[in-house]
Structures are given as C-alpha cells and as structure tokens.
Chains A and B, each alone.
Chain A
C-alpha cells in the first residue's frame, strides 16, 4: 500500500471514530440511583415467580428423580 492510501485510511478511520464518539456522547442518560431503583423493583416484582430463587416443591418438579415402586 502506498503511504498516501495508508494515511487516507488512517484519516478515514479517525473520522469514523470521531463521528461514533459524537453519537455516543449525545445520548440521553439517567442517574444511577434511578436506574438502580428500577432494577431493584423489577427483581422484587418477579421474585415470587422465579423458581431458581424460591425453589419449587418436589411435587411440581419435572426433573425430580423417579422413585421406584415398592411392593409392601
């Protein structure tokens, strides 16, 4: 590659980086306190329906080990 194309590439690359950074700098953000509060409220709302969190009773567990029958 000639040095001219190399520098053109670098400039084009730098331009793309600057444009991308401009885009990222301009987005709207909210405070961490608000974002955290929302994450917490989502957890609390859905905690009761989270089987890995509360554990489900054996009777409803599709993965429970099958017990063999015992003839009394």
Chain B
C-alpha cells in the first residue's frame, strides 16, 4: 500500500469542528464541504452498522469482485480475433526512418506532436526540452529545466506553448516565442504541484487546462492561468505512470495506468473512477485510446500490450509473443485503429494488427530502449524517442497486399 499523500490546497476552518486545519473536500448528500482530515475519517465511519466490521466489509468487497467477474464473463461470448477472421489479413509493411532527430545529450524520455503535424517537443534525462521541426530537423526552441529526468512533456493545442515536468514534482508551462531577445525560461509558469515526480501531462481540448499524473498515486486537473487545482483523482494504489484523454467526441473521460497494474477510467467532472481493469501482471507504462474512444490499449512491463473495450467492460485482446520478453514502454494507434505501434525495452518497435492480434512488422534502428512513441495527428508518420538520445520519424513506404 503506497503512501498516498493528499494534495493540500486549502487551509482554513473545518466545517465540522471549526478548528484551523488543512482541509479536504468531502461530499455529504452531494454538497461539498471542507473537513479536516480527522473529521473526514470520522464521517467515513459515520452510521456504521453494528455488523459492518472490517471483516464483513472485506468479504462484501470480495463477493462484489466475484459478481463483477461473473457479469463480465456472461457477455464474453466470443474473442475479438475470432470475429476478425473474416477481415482481410494485412500484408507486408516497409516502414522507413525518414528523419533522425539528434541533439539531446541524454536519454529521450517523452515526446509529443504539435497539431500542425510537423513540430515535435521532446524531453530528456539531462533536463533539456527541445522543440523540433520534423520536416527540416531544425531545433526551433530549447529550454533547460532546473531538474533532471523530465519524464513528461506536451504540446498545447494552439501550438503556442509546451508543458513539461519530472523530478521537480511540478508541471511547468512555457509559452513559445520566436523573439530571439526573449528568454523562454523567464516566462515559465508553474502550474501543477504534486508530492512526487510528474510522470505524464496532457493539455485538455484547450490551452487553459492541464491533466497530470504523478508518482504520488494521483492524477489532477489544473487551470493553467491561475495554477488552481480543479479536480483530483484518487484511487491508484501506487505511482501513476501514464494517462490519455478520450477523443473529444466521446466526452470528458480519461484513462490512467499505474504501478498497481490497474488501468482506470475517470470522469473528469466528478473525479470518480468509472471503470477499472486489472489484468496486467506488472506496471502499466502506457495507455492510449482507440480512435473511436470505445476502447483503449495499454503497454506493460509484463511484455504484453492489451486492448480493453469500455462498453464490454473487459479485456478483448492480448498482443504478446513468447519471444518478446521485455516490457512495452509506449503504445499508439494508427489513424484507423487497425495498427498498434508499441515500443519495447529490447530496442525494437512491434507493429500489431489490432483486430487479428498478430504482429505485422518489427522495426529496428534504435540503439537503446524505446521510451516514447506517438503517431502524428494526421496519421502520416510516427515518431519514436529512445534512450539512445535520438528520435526517429518513420513512415510506411510500401504495404504489399497479401
């Protein structure tokens, strides 16, 4: 059980005991009050019936888990790859590296594409965050963070700012300026504050809000302008390593994956976990929504990637091979959702047929672990970042039909 520290954003007088303490929001009959942590614990045990002992609650939890499994199993009438038998098989792919971005002095940990489909932001272990033009391989901006291991970076939807963070436990937003006289670091704005490292960050549909995931076991939604915490998401039992927002058409949810082997789907407005999946056998390093928003894929240290369907509420496919024994660090779908690209710690990228569950291609080239992988917004290319200090942009040059 990890040491979950709750974010303290309000200090004041408790609504129950009126003492000056650090306050937590609690919901009583859907009204939000602020209680100090002692009153919050007392409230949680309020109205405890005589027979609601710890043992009875635990056995109820076990029986509910059993019921959940039963309900999910009832609808498991067929496997995805069986239904996909009638789909045409994919042929041979030739995917070439079109650009190699060199310039980082140390392991590349994270990258993100700009909506203009050409710019890329990447961050590395030595604290450098670089914005590249992937067509020309020019470095357009570079900033040095005051910490090492910048594990998360994201491009704002407008293309005018980037967010990054890591061992500094913060997520900072840097507006991008082309004015040579302006020092990018001077305009930095600290938005998120966690009590442990920042593992992932993402802007929501606008430049105004950022979603973060942290080693402190929580995710949080922040207002960029004021730095205020809008919503926090508690439920993971260990470090949260990754998150992904649902495609905008499908609504206000996001999925997160953590070291507790769970992938959890959250409602951004209420802060509630709406679905949880626990079938991986090790830490989940990466989660990504299927383009339709009805499913998501995860990559884990157990050397498998899995597809979970949200409406069927279960895992529907596993992408694994006996010969693959290294963890998958990063996954992403192609535009149609037919291909799943996964970067592994054995320096390779495997391309999976999502429907049939088979591997269609294996890509070499990196000289160390692949740590991050994203498909471009228009689906024409994908970029992988690695511990070998480089990023590679690849495209499909041929697909020989079967």
On whether the two chains bind one another, the answer is yes
Contact of B312 with A53 in the complex, beta carbons under 8 Å: no
In the complex, whether A59 has a CB less than 8 A from a CB of chain B is no
Smallest CB separation, B307 vs chain A (Å): 8
Contact of B275 with A24 in the complex, beta carbons under 8 Å: yes
**In the complex, chain B residues whose CB is within 8 Å of the CB of A8:** 41-42, 44-45
Contact of B44 with A12 in the complex, beta carbons under 8 Å: yes
**In the complex, chain A residues whose CB is within 8 Å of the CB of B355:** 39-40, 43
How many chain B residues have a CB neighbour from A under 8 Å?
73
**In the complex, chain A residues whose CB is within 8 Å of the CB of B77:** 31-33
Contact of A27 with B275 in the complex, beta carbons under 8 Å: yes
Complex partner residue of B379 from A15, A20, A31, A52, CB under 8 angstroms: A52
Complex partner residue of B45 from A12, A22, A46, CB under 8 angstroms: A12
Complex partner residue of B316 from A17, A18, A36, CB under 8 angstroms: A36
Contact of A11 with B84 in the complex, beta carbons under 8 Å: no
Contact of B380 with A51 in the complex, beta carbons under 8 Å: yes
Complex partner residue of A61 from B76, B275, B395, CB under 8 angstroms: B395
A69 to B292: give the CA distance in the assembly, Å.
44
A63 to B273: give the CA distance in the assembly, Å.
41
Q: Considering only CB atoms, which chain B residue lies closest to A38 in the complex?
A: B294
Give me the interface of A with B, judged by CB distance under 8 Å. Answer: 5, 7-12, 14-18, 20-25, 27, 29-40, 42-47, 49-56, 58, 61-65
Add 12 more A-B contacts to A25-B64, A53-B339, A63-B98 (CB < 8 A). A11-B45, A14-B54, A15-B57, A18-B64, A20-B276, A21-B64, A29-B72, A29-B313, A34-B311, A42-B290, A50-B335, A63-B381
